[in-house]
């Protein structure tokens, strides 16, 4: 969402070509330029010893009533790895150990003028009891071949899990 007022002096912002030639919100009173950058979401494919992974039922929009991987936005005072561990614990009650970086996904909705980045890790569950929390209202464990794309709230999670299923199928063959 575009900011309307200058965070430094409170004057109304205008869309202008900034010095780097991008059109950006600029404050005509004090010259402050607003650089809009995408938020970074971080999540995990949290695997149990039996190969099943944790999905969370979303209690909030976007995607309310649909399932997703435990994931959320990185805070200003943490690293990507810390965000992954925190989000997993908040949404599932599970403690995990990060193994591999599974991938980085991004999207850009031109009409909505938004973009975002999702960083996903594969993680091993090492403790805790499953319980929903934060913006998740249920936790369940599913095997790779049990996951239906229709359940999932986000295309990035669908893509990440499609690749995960393919890799698991290949390693079982
Ligand atoms: Zn200003």
- Predicted confidence (pLDDT) per residue in 68-107, tens digit: 999 999 999 999 999 999 999 999 999 999 999 999 999 8
pLDDT of res. 46? 97
The confidence band for 173, taking pLDDT boundaries of 50, 70 and 90, is low
Which phi-psi region, left, alpha or beta, contains residue 154 (left: φ > 0; alpha: ψ -120 to 50)?
A: beta
Distance 36 CA to ligand 1 centre (A): 16
| pTM of the shown model | 0.86
Query: Which residue from 83, 85, 142 is spatially nearest to 117, judged by alpha carbons?
Result: 83
141 CA → ligand 1 middle, Å: 50
Identify the structural domains of the chain with CATH numbers, from first to last: 1-36 (2.20.70.10), 40-172 (3.90.79.10)
Residue 84's pLDDT is what?
98
Q: From the CA of 101, how far away is ligand 1's center (Å)?
A: 41
Distance of CA 4 from the midpoint of ligand 1 (Å): 11
Ligand 1 center to residue 18 CA distance, Å? 14
At residue 145, the pLDDT reads 83
Which pLDDT score is estimated for 136? 87
Mean pLDDT of 58-70: 92
Task: Report the C-alpha gap between 99 and 95 in whole angstroms.
Answer: 13
């Amino acid at each position: 969402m575009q900011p309307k007022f200058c965070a430094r002096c409170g004057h109304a912002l205008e869309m202008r070509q900034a010095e780097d030639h991008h059109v950006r919100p600029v404050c005509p009173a004090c010259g402050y330029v607003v650089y809009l950058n995408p938020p970074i979401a971080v999540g995990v494919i949290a695997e149990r010893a039996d190969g099943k992974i944790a999905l969370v039922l979303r209690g909030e929009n976007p995607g309310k009533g649909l399932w997703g991987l435990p994931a959320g936005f990185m805070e200003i005072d943490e690293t990507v790895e810390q965000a992954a561990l925190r989000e997993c614990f908040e949404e599932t009650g599970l403690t995990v150990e990060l193994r591999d970086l599974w991938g980085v996904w991004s999207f850009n909705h031109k009409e909505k003028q938004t973009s975002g980045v999702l960083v996903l890790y594969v993680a091993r569950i090492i403790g805790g009891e499953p319980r929903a929390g934060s913006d998740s209202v249920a936790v369940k464990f599913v095997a790779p071949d049990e996951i239906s794309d229709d359940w999932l709230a986000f295309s990035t999670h669908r893509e990440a899990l499609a690749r995960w299923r393919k890799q698991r199928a290949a390693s079982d063959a």
